Amino acid sequence: MKEVNGMMRFFILLFWGLWCGKGWGMNVISGDALTEADTVEVSQVLRDSVPQSFLDKLNYYYNTWYLSKQDSVGYVDSVYIAENSKNIPVCSDSLYLLRLDSMQSAIPFSFNDIVRNYIELYTVKRRFQVANMLGVAKYYFPIFEEALDAECMPLELRCLPVIESALNPRALSPVGACGLWQFMYSTGKMYKLEINSFVDERRDPYLATKAAVRYLNDLYSIYEDWILVIAAYNCGPGNVNKAIRRSGGKKNYWDIYYYLPRETRGYVPAFIAANYVFRYHKEHGIFPIEPTLPAMCDSIMVEDALHFEQIAAKLDLSVEQLRDLNPQYRADVIPAGFGKCYALRMPYNHVHDFIDRQDSIFACNRSKYFNDNDRTADPASRIKVHAHGLGADGRVRLVYTVKSGDVPGAIAMKFNVRLVDLKYWNNLNKRLTIRPGQKLVVYVPEKKAAQYKSKAAFAGKVNNTVRAPKVETIDGEFVLYTVKKGENLWTIAKKYPGISNRDIMKWNGLTDSDVRGIKPGQKLKIKI
């Protein structure tokens, strides 16, 4: 079955890439972005600088993630050391080339002016961001490497999230790409990632990494060239295929460079630079800033719904720590239950505490976070609280005869009841239409029945206080009603608040033809 699914993904990618020209990649760029590339001369010198969009992305992900972690003393001290490092080494092109050659990567690392621009961006202009990413990489890189190694893929691909999201698990691009690997919604769904109001597995470091590895493998089955795979990851296979066709069928990245969207032109150089700086950061005087993420973590499967605040109230863990370790949960809620389990990741030393205290954790303020009262709500069971039913709560039934000039609102005020209750008791339509001589049922407190009798009596009733009719009961759930002469299901239903003629038909197994044959003396079951 896995082989079948893999082949299906392959053909989907190939079809869309070759014929539609629309990429299934992460940050997919439309075909309109190639307009400029169509006019580029092949002889143009490689002089592209780092685009402002790339710098803006770095700044945004840095400000929304790393700057929020400045509370720790270790972070402040490390930044102070980094900021006051005055001896930034200057490297020659030959040294850059030598170091890239010595990395012995399965992915060829080329060097040119464009690559140098990105290396200097990381090692000079964005040193502090690199120091932060180096620290966070201690937590995330083992996850990436394990998944890549399991599929015998180049471990250097671990740096893709560095340029995609700056290792920010909550990164969200302007076009909707999300998570460390920047999956678009459609791509995430294609690779079976769960995305709903509570869970977004595009932000799950483990599940998103596995999906990204499958996606990269699918791209490699098309191009059999890791550099082209990396380019297609950014702009989609459709745009890479267009560039190949416009270059005359060339399949080398640097041959099709100027036929690619501008953002993708810098994507591969940035990837090379990221691998370089993560390998030679010490030579440039950049050292990791210790992250707030714990070094050792473990996962536990949760079988019932749980809120982060319930955990924080019973364990020595903050809600923010739980969010950092479990970024896939969008509302601080683990929506487990009904046979479905979800993983909760926490520091290793807290796992045993969770197991020992799980009963108290799940019970902590449960009604506050998970109110199950309405899960199986039945309006009929609440009529006694909302609109008082027949003979309920010490109330008696009065029958009022409508006279000329009466309106429902005035009648409700006369008996000190709500208009909505009067409407419900008498099955009035939306327009609250009534007519002179019509009988209206009103339920009033028994202790006040005497004073309301006179208000109803002037309409022709001498003694109109009526209690619930005496009828036979069946197991306390149904009553047996005897049909009287001249009655039909509609008139019978009006005697029982909240019940329609269709309800009576269902309880008694009656069809439309049976209804016309109802006779006086016939017994009907009515649910109470």
Q: How many residues does the chain have?
A: 528
Q: What long-range pairs does 369-377 form, CB within 8 A, spacing at least 24?
A: 369/305, 369/307, 369/309, 369/310, 369/333, 370/305, 370/307
Which residues of the chain are under the pLDDT cut of 70? 1-49, 62, 64-87, 372-394, 454-455, 457-477, 497-498, 528
Residue 36, judged by CB atoms within 10 A of its CB (0-12, 13-18, 19+), counts as: exposed
Answer whether 378-468 and 469-528 agree in fold: yes
Phi-psi region for residue 201, left (φ > 0), alpha (ψ -120 to 50) or beta?
alpha
**pLDDT value at residue 458:** 41
pTM value > 0.75: no
- Taking each helix axis from N to C terminus, what angle separates 237-246 and 205-223, rounded to the nearest 10 degrees? 30
Q: Tell me 284's DSSP state.
A: G
Specify the pLDDT at position 142. 95
Question: Residues 212-257: pLDDT tens digits?
Answer: 999 999 999 999 999 999 999 998 999 999 999 999 999 999 999 9
- Written as one letter, the residue type at 38 is D
Backbone angles phi, psi at 357, to 5 degrees: -110, 15
User: What's the CATH fold of domain 469-528?
Assistant: Membrane-bound Lytic Murein Transglycosylase D; Chain A (3.10.350)
pLDDT of residue 383: 54
Classify domain 46-52+61-224+273-284 by CATH number: 1.10.530
217 contacts 148 by C-beta, under 8 angstroms: no
Q: Could you tell me the two tokens for 432?
A: 């609250």
CB 388 within 8 A of CB 426: no
Check residue 67 and give its pLDDT.
59
Overall fold of domain 378-468: Membrane-bound Lytic Murein Transglycosylase D; Chain A (3.10.350)
Q: Which pLDDT belongs to residue 380?
A: 61
- φ and ψ at residue 344, rounded to 5 degrees: -115, 120
Do the Cβ atoms of 213 and 243 come closer than 8 Å? no
| Structure token pair of residue 310 | 């319930």
How big is the CA angle at 11 (ends 8 and 16), to the nearest 5 degrees?
Answer: 125
- Domain coordinates in residue numbering, the chain: 46-52+61-224+273-284, 297-369, 378-468, 469-528
Q: Are 75 and 251 in contact (CB under 8 A)?
A: no
Q: What are phi and psi of 340, to 5 degrees?
A: -110, 130
pLDDT of residue 48: 57
Q: Encoding tokens for residue 121?
A: 């961006």
Helices (H) and strands (E) in the chain, counts: 24, 10
3-state SS assignment for residue 410: helix
What is the distance between the alpha carbons of residues 226 and 415, in angstroms, rounded to a whole number?
Answer: 82
Q: CA-to-CA distance for 308 and 361, rounded, in angstroms? A: 10
Q: Which helix (H) or strand (E) holds 526?
A: strand 523-527
- How far apart (Å, rounded) are the C-alpha atoms in residues 219 and 227? 11
193: closest CA among 26, 307, 4? 26
Task: Give the whole-angstrom CA distance, residue 66 versus residue 52.
Answer: 20
Helices (H), 259-347: 262-265, 267-280, 308-314, 319-325
Asked if residues 443 and 412 have their Cβ atoms less than 8 Å apart, the reply is no
